[in-house]
Amino acid sequence: MNGTDVSQRALDRLSAEWDELTPEAQKAARYVLENPADVGVSTVREIAEAAQVKPNTIVRMARQVGFDGYDDFRAPFREAIRQRPSGFPGRARMLQDIRRSGRMGELYADMVQSTLRNVEETFAATTPDALTAAAEAIWCARDIFTLGVGVNNANARNFTYLASTGMVRFHAIPRAGSVATDDLAWSGGSDALIAMTSAPYRCEVVDAVEVAVEQRVTVIGITDSPASPIYRAAAHGFVVATDTPQFFPSSVATIALLETLLSFVIAQAGPEIVERVEAFHSRRRRLGIYTDEGS
């Protein structure tokens, strides 16, 4: 999504038509999916140059997804343009400018609005059926690997921690002293990988997903764009909104989706899951891990 509420129909169609596009048209579609804001401010020649294709390739791509031509295709993108600095340093400088100009209340309001909007957009872009299908794949898997690096490392490990209260088949990777591709060495068709990354996409995650696909592992991809390499490779793909006034992509929607996905897994599980959760928490109380206060 890259922080831009562009025509979802156009983006979804580009992603759906991916395999039918020529290699040159795929280059054009990739650029549009990853840089939707650029479309609204660029001519067909400028977009073609940026995508390293010919202008008529852009026009053909636009027509294939249901528009009369490039101008018609560009119109909804123009409406979606949001004026803010791009890149992490630019956003950090913007936050400093807000403080100097005494607009902290405005920053607070923007943070609240973007947080709510990210969650709303993320759940609007998925369905209960999609979550059910992914949950079934997870529950039926022999071993489930959860992969995130950088800020998503904490998200992946939190998901694994929560799942471990009732299940023992979840493994957060990369393990200490290892790399994700090596952690998947003995994975196969009976396993599942939950992978997450947002732009700029981390090579470790992309490489691990490629290995998983080669080994017939079921991939659940959580990312910020249908152009993301892990979304296209995933058997079950989810797009999360990461837009925020602060300098780094927001994790709020990712966490919300992961918590929802885990709830669907528990709902798909057999009756033994209730006994496991009860035994887990009873053991913690017996070992004094929980305080009696507020119980």
Sheet containing strand 192-196, edge to edge, reads: 170-173, 144-147, 192-196, 218-223, 236-239
Q: What is the pLDDT of residue 236?
A: 98
What CATH number does domain 128-286 carry, 3.40.1190.20, 3.30.200.210, 3.40.50.10490, 3.40.50.970? 3.40.50.10490
Q: What is the pLDDT of residue 89?
A: 61
Q: What is the pLDDT of residue 128?
A: 95
Q: What is the pLDDT of residue 198?
A: 93
Can you tell me the mean pLDDT for 144-167?
Answer: 93
Q: Write the CB contacts of 171 (distance below 8 Å, at least 6 apart in sequence).
A: 143, 144, 145, 146, 160, 183
**Cis before 245 (ω within 30):** no
> Which residue from 162, 213, 221, 164 is spatially nearest to 191, judged by alpha carbons?
213
DSSP state of 202: P
Range scoring the smallest mean pLDDT among 220-224, 233-237, 246-250: 246-250
Range scoring the smallest mean pLDDT among 28-32, 138-142, 178-182: 28-32
Encoding tokens for residue 149? 């690096």
Q: What is the pLDDT of residue 87?
A: 56
Encoding tokens for residue 120? 């709303």
Q: What is the pLDDT of residue 6?
A: 42
* CB-CB contact of 261 with 236 (8 Å): no
Is the pLDDT assigned to residue 121 strictly greater than 60?
yes
Q: Is residue 87 left, alpha or beta, with left meaning phi > 0 and alpha meaning psi from -120 to 50?
A: left
Can you tell me the mean pLDDT for 178-197?
Answer: 97
pTM equals 0.68
Which amino acid belongs to residue 55?
Answer: P
Encoding tokens for residue 162? 């929560």
Cα–Cα dist 170/20, whole Å: 36
Residues facing residue 172 across a β-bridge:
146
CA angle (267 as vertex; 261, 269 as ends), nearest 5: 105
- Tell me phi and psi for residue 208, to 5 degrees: -65, -40
The residues spanned by each domain of the chain are 8-79, 128-286
Burial of 231 (0-12, 13-18, 19+ CB in 10 A): buried
> Which residue from 53, 212, 65 is spatially nearest to 147, judged by alpha carbons?
212
DSSP codes joined into one string, 253-292: HHHHHHHHHHHHHHHHS-THHHHHHHHHHHHHHHTT-S-S
**Residue whose entry in the numeric block shows the structure tokens 């989706």:** 257
Can you tell me the mean pLDDT for 57-83?
Answer: 77
Q: What is the pLDDT of residue 37?
A: 65
Mean of per-residue pLDDT scores for the chain: 85
Q: What is the pLDDT of residue 110?
A: 77
Cα–Cα dist 268/285, whole Å: 27
Q: What is the pLDDT of residue 32?
A: 87
Helix (H, G, I), strand (E, B) or coil at 192: strand
What CATH number does domain 8-79 carry, 3.40.50.920, 2.120.10.60, 3.40.50.300, 1.10.10.10? 1.10.10.10
Is the pLDDT assigned to residue 204 strictly greater than 80?
yes
Q: What is the pLDDT of residue 287?
A: 85
pLDDT one-digit tens code per residue, 72-98: 887 777 655 444 445 556 656 666 666
pLDDT one-digit tens code per residue, 5-14: 445 667 778 8
Over the range 7-37, which residues count as b (16 or more CB within 10 Å of their CB) and which as e?
beebbebbbebbeebeebbbbbbbbbbbbbb
Q: What is the pLDDT of residue 12?
A: 79
Cα–Cα dist 91/94, whole Å: 5
Can you tell me the mean pLDDT for 143-164?
Answer: 95
Higher pLDDT, 291 or 177: 177
Q: Do domains 8-79 and 128-286 have the same CATH topology?
A: no
